[in-house]
Structure 1
Amino acid sequence: MSSTVSEGFWPHGKTSAAIVSVIFDDGLDAIAQAPDLKGRSKSFSVWQYGATRGVERLCNAFADARISTSWFVPGIVAEKHEQLLREVVSAHHEIESHGWAFERYDAMSAAESVDLLKRSRETLNAIASNEVSGFRLPTGNWPRHFDRLLVDAGYTWSASLNGDDVPYSHASSLVEIPVHNELEDRPYFQFNFTPAFPKGQGRIPSYEAVLGNWIAEFDAYRKYGLCYVIQLRPEWTGTPGRIALVEALLAHIGSFDDVWLTTAAEVARWHGGKGAAAPADHPINVYEAYVDEEQAGER
């Protein structure tokens, strides 16, 4: 497999793609790790800051850059912050699913999974201006054949797995837009004393170093014609100082006219329209073949 896509791979004469996404969990991710956090206002306020200030700052930065972005939101957060999300929608951003309440799909039955996936999609559709078609796994492992459950629940694409740098299709036809940890803000900025997030504490690096990482990755993605996906959270990059990193990154991306800067749903529609299945040597198919072989050996 080549590390560089072929000429003409991307539409509109572009040579690479970039997606700006936002993950708005409103603290559900923290509660999943420390359930008692919800009753401790000092610690939990770190995550509540996203809804209080961070969402507005991100939207202002996106407006200044004149871009539309993709927001992944749990259904229960959409119910709690309906008006706030309607403001996000009115600013021309798409809303997609991040599950219902930060549940682990690898710990429930297929029927339970489909029920929650549908519930989330229906709730978000009542707020979004777009037809909710995308999903990002909240936590846990990707269950085998989970792509089929997503299709059954009405989804056409996911941005959950890491095994590539360009979109690919699962056997079910579900489009996957790969994401990577180094292009998230949380691994750099999440910090809380009690409970310790992260365990062992060392985090919050130099802002210039983080921006340098994100720009270095973008420059490489552009060089090789790949799909760059930055993942931001309002509680971590929606602060007065860190929003400048977002603004600088967007200015850098926007300075290149050969980059297709668009939403995740648009990339998924484009790739899905090509009808291209992942090749046999793609990581997703290698994994499936490995599991089949292991299960056959156990019989």
Structure 2
Amino acid sequence: MDDLYKWPEGKRCAVMLSVLYDDGLDAMAKAPDLAYRSKSRSVWEYGSQRGLERLLSTIEEYKVPSTWFVPGMVLSTQQSLIKEIAQANTEVAARGVNFENYFDLSLAEQISKLKQTQEIFEDTLDTQLKGFRLPSGLWPYGFDHTLTEFGFSWTSSLNGDDCPYTHLSGLVQIPVHIELEDRPYFQFNFTPAFPTGHSRIAGYEAVLDNWKREFDAYRQYGLCFVLQLRPEITGTAGRIFLVREMLSYMSQFDDVWFATGSDIASWHQQNNGVAAQDHPINVFEQYLSEGKDV
């Protein structure tokens, strides 16, 4: 195992169970009129009224920690639910205020939004935020410095690796990958662009098989497996079994470290340095600093 990433003693890989609770803000950011379309909006209402409790209770049943990413606006409108989440074996991390696209904001606007985010969380949960997930859009140049200046120690937003790495600013990045996210498999689309006649959602057993195969590979190579779930999608009565099956499957291995984002980031900071100069994130930063187009 000498060639593997170093996890806590006796652990071969890490699992970060993450939940993205946007309560429809992600959809309304692209289609503002959704707020007035009761039929479509009811998908996210179901997530808050039924899916969230089902997902949370399932995670609690398996006694594994989880990290919930929540926009500030959802924290304001769903205070009782978020407080219930925070009282469980969970960590609540930030996801902006109103699902804004930070790439389209000026530095001053970014700072204003981050300040507002911190204030909402501190007022509601009386906690100092450590983690941040980019709501939408591209990663702004120098955004890692902006986050660290506001006290964030880690983020889980980019895709450029299979294990945590550290930006030059000191911000820890816990990479995510779309194949470990529920929405690409199950997002119901009333007007699929292509191909004509293609199934609108993936078969449940096929998704479970995909996730298990990915986990097996992550464990074999000693990586960081980040599963991304949503109450309105995998919190349904039919799909919650996917979560149960995955938790049951992963829990059978005693060399798997289930941890929150902050736990993983803290471990990484104490046991690993800044990403090497030839790491993709530093190559990209150098590319941008030279004024080249991307």
TM-score range, shorter chain: over 0.9
| TM-score, reference length from structure 2 | 0.94
Q: Mapping of 1:177-188 within 5 angstroms?
A: 177-188=174-185
Deviations 1:227-264 (Å, cap 9, x if unpaired)?
Answer: 00000000000000100000000001100000111111
1:90-116: per-residue Cα shift (whole Å, max 9, x none)? 122110000110001111111111121
Please state if 1:269 is matched with 2:275.
Answer: no
Does residue 1:237 correspond to 2:234, yes or no?
Answer: yes
The equivalences for 1:88-127 within 5 A come to: 88-127=85-124
* Superposition map of 1:144-183 within 5 A: 144-183=141-180
Equivalent residues in 2 for 1:73-84, closer than 5 Å: 73-84=70-81
SS of 1:67's equivalent in the other structure is: coil
CA contact (8 A) 2:176 2:226 kept: yes
Matching of residues 200-279 of structure 1 within 5 Å: 200=194, 202-274=199-271, 276-279=273-276
Q: Secondary structure of the equivalent of 1:132?
A: coil
**Deviation sequence 1:148-178 (CA, Å, 0-9, x none):** 1111122110000000000000110000000
Runs of 4+ in 1 over 6 A off after TM superposition: none
The one-letter amino acid paired with 2:210 is N
Which runs of no fewer than 5 residues in structure 2 stay unpaired? none
Q: Does 1:17 align with 2:19?
A: no
Does the aligned pair in 1 maintain the 2:71–2:99 contact within 8 Å? yes
Structure-2 residue corresponding to 1:280 = 277
Secondary structure of 2:262's counterpart equals: helix
Partner of 1:57: 54
Q: Which residue of 2 aligns with 1:47?
A: 44
CA distance in 1 between counterparts of 2:243 and 2:2 reads 27
Distance 1:280 1:91 in 2: 40
Q: Structure 2 residue aligned with 1:68, among 50, 65, 77?
A: 65
Q: Distance in 2 between matches of 1:170 and 1:242?
A: 36
- Are 1:141 and 2:153 counterparts? no
Change (3 A) 1:237 1:8: closer
Percent identity over the alignment? 51
Deviations along 1:111-159, one digit per CA (max 9) or x if unpaired, are: 1111211211232234447632000111011011110111112211000
Q: 1:80 to 1:106 in 2, by over 3 A?
A: same
Q: 1:285 to 1:7 in 2, by over 3 A?
A: closer
Conserved in 2, the CA contact under 8 Å of 1:191 and 1:203? yes
The 1-side partners of 2:124 and 2:9 are apart by: 30
CA drift of 1:205 comes to 0.8
TM-score normalised to the size of structure 1? 0.92
Asked if the contact 1:160–1:176 (Cα under 8 Å) also holds between the matched residues in 2, the reply is yes
Q: Take 2:5 and 2:44, find their aligned partners in 1: how far apart are those partners?
A: 43
Name the counterpart of 2:26. Answer: 29
Q: Which moved more, 1:286-295 or 1:261-270?
A: 286-295
Q: Could you tell me which amino acid in structure 2 is paired with residue 205 of structure 1?
A: A
Structure 1 position 288, deviation (Å): 1.3
Secondary structure of the structure 1 residue equivalent to 2:92: strand
How much has 1:202 moved relative to structure 2? 4.7
- Residue pairs, 1:187-198, within 5 angstroms: 187-193=184-190, 196=191
Residues 265 and 203 from structure 1, CA distance in 2 versus in 1: closer, same or farther, beyond 3 angstroms?
Answer: farther
Kept after mapping to 2: 8 A contact 1:163/1:283: yes
> Residue 5 of structure 1 contacts residue 226 of structure 1 at CA under 8 Å; is this kept in 2?
no
Matched position secondary structure for 1:172: coil
Q: Deviations over 1:267-292 (max 9, x none)?
A: 01111223501011111011112223
CA–CA separation in structure 1 for the residues paired with 2:233 and 2:193: 17
